[in-house]
């Protein structure tokens, strides 16, 4: 599902709320999640799941074009753990 499709679906279910307003709310929600991850390292939505910052260790890899071994630096990524209520509905 794309952002536009999500906005359309939400717009259909909320009479009197414009798509522009829904877009602004969507953007504000995801900016807030990003800030919370940067500050606290996690963001939980009860009944949905938890986003958390995870660390990846440095490792060796290969350049697929040349086969040359390369060093891949340590990095951080965002992981998601679904709540049991969400898992039960899938």
For residue range 46-61, what is the model confidence (pLDDT) as tens digits?
999 999 999 999 999 9
Q: Please tell me the predicted confidence (pLDDT) of residue 5.
A: 96
Contact 45, 33 (CB under 8 A): no
Q: Which two tokens stand for residue 47?
A: 């009944």
CA distance 31 to 35: 6
Contact 47, 87 (CB under 8 A): no
Q: Fold for 43-90, please state it.
A: HU Protein; Chain A (4.10.520)
Phi and psi at 71, nearest 5°, equal -95, 130
pTM: 0.74
């Amino acid at each position: 599902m794309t952002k536009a499709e999500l906005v359309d679906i939400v717009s259909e279910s909320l009479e009197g709320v414009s798509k522009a307003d829904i877009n602004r709310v969507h953007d504000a929600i995801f900016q807030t999640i990003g800030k919370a991850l940067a500050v606290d390292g996690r963001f939980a939505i009860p009944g949905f799941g938890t986003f958390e910052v995870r660390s990846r260790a440095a490792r060796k890899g290969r350049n697929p074009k040349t086969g040359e071994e390369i060093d891949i630096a340590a990095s951080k990524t965002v992981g998601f753990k679904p709540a049991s209520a969400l898992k039960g509905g899938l």
